[in-house]
A and B are shown apart, each in its own frame.
Chain A
């Protein structure tokens, strides 16, 4: 649509609010509504497993935008309102407490929610996606006792590091014998796991969870696939996420593993998707992708805003993420597939800092840095856009799927 009068954004977090801000920036002066299920001000998620959990930041510091920046966007900001249905023919979104809301253009930015394990709705069992989740987990950690983390992905391991900072004993289990090898390459993944071991984290790679055990209605441990029992006083289930698309059932949209979009991030006439929830066609890789990274939410927001306003450009990003563990920050641009050859360009893999190019199939597929953020920026430019033919179709911060 060339000239929309009312743009409705469903989901008011990183991707949704960035889209709203970008729409204004690129000249949209019609009505703009952002619908957000959570009450309270928007906050950023990366600090939840890091500074909020270990207590180095008060929760307010995780605010997504400073209040004045949010106010300047000029939007109708409906918080504590959940979208429950979409009628594309009438261009109407149904909500739980605010009735039906019509739109000319709809932006779906509802993100993802943690996957659960059978029998995990028990006191003492946690997931981590929201501020409330983080504060609840922190409270449990401060009570003492061992934390059992299910899933050695980035979220699980960041939580393990924060728990160690609080002096809490931690065991991490994961059915994958080589966790994160497909995300960081075996050498860097191995190094990251050793860092955790050096800080007292007990790691059980290759150990599947049979069930969560409980006594007196509270989780008290894990039964592993090999017959061992681990005792603990809190369990974190960090086994990846699923897109928040339940409210789109019956909309006629393809919501298999996210909202399916074309190369311009459009799902259907008048419907767009952005951020963790969007599975759009990456023209560079030639196939659909869904990316669960913070920078991606911001970048895709710019593309969606431009395209709603008629730019008609394909969105072909080179993915980027960072992750923090103890005193180490790891950064990746592009991809570091398990079979890649790492060629150090600053320092060496065994050093305290390094930057390495990941070469795969005769091309640079990605760049990975270990405590070398400045050098990383310089080398990041060397990663040709979408160079990795072997890119996973669902690179995500928490997509390490486990059962």
Chain B
């Protein structure tokens, strides 16, 4: 799994952090910070939840990478 974030589109909702705190954080302005580009298997599911929860389609997951 490889995660990408389109930070310019982030509206700083924090939804990803609530879903997957091990994978995502926010900078001081609230913009998403990717903590783990290829997260550990045990948090992969939470990363998928974050992708689906994001209200601005900022997060993309490439499952095959």
Contacts and interface: CB of A to CB of B under 8 A. Distances in A.
B55 interface: yes
A254 interface: no
Interface size class of B (residues with CB under 8 A): 20 to 34
A25 B60 contact: no
Contact of B9 (A61, A302, A381): A61
A329 B12 CA distance: 9
A29 B18 CA distance: 29
Given A25-B48, A25-B52, A380-B18, A373 B12 contact: yes
Nearest to A294: B55
A376 interface: yes
Contacts of B14: 373-374, 376-377, 380
Contacts of B26: 373-374, 377
B17 interface: yes
Nearest to B30: A373
Main secondary structure of the interface of A (DSSP, over half): helix
Contact of B57 (A64, A297, A320, A374): A64
Interface string A278-318: 00000000000000001101110010000000000000000
Contact of A298 (B9, B27, B55): B55
Interface in B13-65: 13-15, 17-18, 26-31, 48, 52-57, 60
A298 B54 contact: yes
Contacts of A65: 57
Nearest to A298: B55
A18 B30 CA distance: 24
A294 B12 CA distance: 13
Contacts of A374: 12, 14, 26-30
Contacts of B12: 322, 329, 331, 373-374
A322 B11 contact: yes
B13 A69 contact: no
A69 B57 contact: yes
Contacts of B52: 18, 21-22, 25, 298, 302
Contacts of A14: 55
Nearest to B61: A69
Contacts of A377: 14, 17-18, 26, 30
8 contacts: A46-B11, A297-B55, A331-B13, A372-B30, A373-B13, A373-B29, A377-B26, A380-B14
Interface of A: 14, 18, 21-22, 25, 44, 46, 61, 63-66, 68-69, 294-295, 297-299, 302, 320, 322, 324, 329, 331, 372-374, 376-377, 380-381
Interface of B: 9, 11-15, 17-18, 26-31, 48, 52-57, 60
